[in-house]
Structures are given as C-alpha cells and as structure tokens.
C-alpha cells in the first residue's frame, strides 16, 4: 500500500509538470462530443502519438481537475486497492468532478475503479497503449460507458498547422510550401516529437520499440 503522504507528494509533482506542458497543435478530434457527454473518454494509440498532449488539451476546458500519471517509477507498486487512497488525496487537495488518468494500463484491473467513479458521476478521461486498452476486460467492464479516440501521429493537415502553413491560400508560394512539406511528411511521417525536434534517432527508437513489442506479444 502506498502511504497517503507519499502519494500526495507524487500527485502534486505530476500536476505541476502536467500543467506546464506545451499545448502543441490542437488535434483533429471532436472535442465537443467528448466534453458534452458523461461517457468515459478512452484515448489509445501508438507510442509517442501525442496521447498525453491530447489529454492536456482536454484539461484546458476545465477550471479544476484531478490528474495522475501511472508512467512514473514511484507508482510502480500501485495496485487496485490504492485507488481509495488516491481519491482521498484528490479530495484533500481540492474539489473536482473531472479525473484525468495517464497510462492507465500500468495498473491491473483499473477498469473496476474507472467504472466505479464513472457511476458516482465523475467525468473520466484515460490514456493507454493499444494492446492493453483493447483487452476483453475493457470491453466487458466498460461496455456502453465509454467513447474511444484512436490517436495517430499528425495528419498532413496537423503537420501543416505545426509548420504554420496557411493551406487556405491558393497562391504559388503557398502551394510550393505545401508540396515541400508533403515530401517531408511522406518521407519522415508525423510523430509529434520528431516533427518538433527532427532527431532521426527518435524515429529509429519508435520503430524498434513497436517491433519488439509485437514480437514479445
């Protein structure tokens, strides 16, 4: 069991880091659909496709919210039984009815907790890897309670937004920019972190991680 005092420290650290994130390029998803409903929003996708950034973009629509990221070595021993302590810590900090959970798949049987707080009236957003979030447990325990967002790397439109290309213009200079960017996009892809830093090693690591994960599964 994780002590409440330690968990409170972790949550405070994580929230500070989360709120300091770069907003990035607003993703091409139907934000209003997920903001207007009380259904759980499940964000899944390939590694480094921008799931946490999308979660942050959703968070900007709320004055107050609870946040926890289970991709944190300090929470490696977190279990289903610790969720009660987590809620106590949340309530001690301030009052909210919105919960954001990053990398939720790292806690076994997390679906039970998410279903419980959903039924208590909380609006819940979660992110996680494709392999774990597509499990039969998710389908069984959350059936009829969630909307799913399958997040991919940048579309070409999002890529142009990142590069600040006004694709609405029809002049020759803009067309040449679009063609040049399309050539880069076609060759290098649209992983947000790569587009931002242009480090070739990043792409290599992503593909290796994906291949190794497939082989191990």
pLDDT in tens, 4-59: 999 999 999 999 999 999 999 999 999 999 999 999 999 998 888 999 999 999 99
- Residue 82 shares a structural domain with residue 49: yes
Contact 117, 124 (CB under 8 A): yes
pLDDT of residue 137: 62
- Residue 83 shares a structural domain with residue 164: no
Contact 113, 89 (CB under 8 A): no
- Residue 27 shares a structural domain with residue 131: yes
- Ranges of beta strands (E only) in 53-142 are 66-69, 98-102, 123-129
Higher pLDDT, 116 or 133: 116
- Residue 178 shares a structural domain with residue 209: yes
Last residue within a domain, chosen from 106, 129, 151: 151
- Residue 147 shares a structural domain with residue 199: no
Give the pTM.
0.89
Q: If residue 151 lies in a helix (H) or strand (E), which one and from where to where?
A: strand 146-151
Cα–Cα distance measured from residue 3 to residue 122, given in angstroms and rounded to the nearest whole number = 24
Percent above pLDDT 70 for the chain: 92
Range of the domain at 178: 156-216
- Residue 17 shares a structural domain with residue 119: yes
- Residue 91 shares a structural domain with residue 8: yes
- Residue 63 shares a structural domain with residue 167: no
User: How far are the Cα atoms of 60, 159, 180 from residue 98, in angstroms, in the given order?
Assistant: 12, 30, 42
- Residue 35 shares a structural domain with residue 120: yes
The SS3 assignment for 19 reads helix
- The average confidence (pLDDT) of the chain is 90
pLDDT of residue 48: 84
pLDDT of residue 39: 96
Cα–Cα distance measured from residue 127 to residue 105, given in angstroms and rounded to the nearest whole number = 8
Mean pLDDT of the region 180-198:
91
Contact 192, 25 (CB under 8 A): yes
- Residue 94 shares a structural domain with residue 113: yes
Q: How confident is the model at residue 201 (pLDDT cuts 50, 70, 90)?
A: confident
């Amino acid at each position: 069991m994780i002590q409440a005092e330690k968990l409170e420290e972790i949550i405070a650290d994580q929230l500070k880091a989360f709120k300091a994130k770069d907003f990035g390029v607003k993703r091409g998803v139907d934000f209003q659909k997920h903001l207007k409903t009380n259904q759980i929003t499940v964000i899944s996708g390939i590694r480094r496709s921008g799931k946490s950034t999308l979660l942050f973009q959703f968070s900007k629509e709320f004055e107050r919210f609870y946040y926890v990221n289970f991709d944190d070595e300090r929470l490696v021993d977190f279990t289903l039984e610790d969720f009660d302590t987590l809620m106590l810590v949340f309530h001690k900090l301030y009052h909210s009815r919105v919960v954001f959970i990053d990398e939720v798949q790292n806690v076994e049987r997390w679906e039970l907790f998410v279903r419980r707080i959903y039924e208590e009236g909380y609006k819940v957003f979660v992110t996680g890897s494709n392999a774990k979030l597509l499990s039969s447990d998710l389908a069984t325990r959350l059936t009829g309670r969630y909307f799913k967002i399958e997040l991919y790397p940048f579309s070409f439109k999002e890529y142009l937004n990142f590069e600040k290309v006004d694709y609405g213009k029809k002049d020759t200079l803009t067309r040449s920019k679009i063609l040049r960017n399309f050539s880069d996009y076609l060759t290098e892809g649209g992983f947000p972190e790569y587009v931002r830093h242009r480090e070739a090693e990043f792409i290599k690591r992503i593909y290796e991680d994906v291949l190794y994960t497939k082989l191990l599964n």
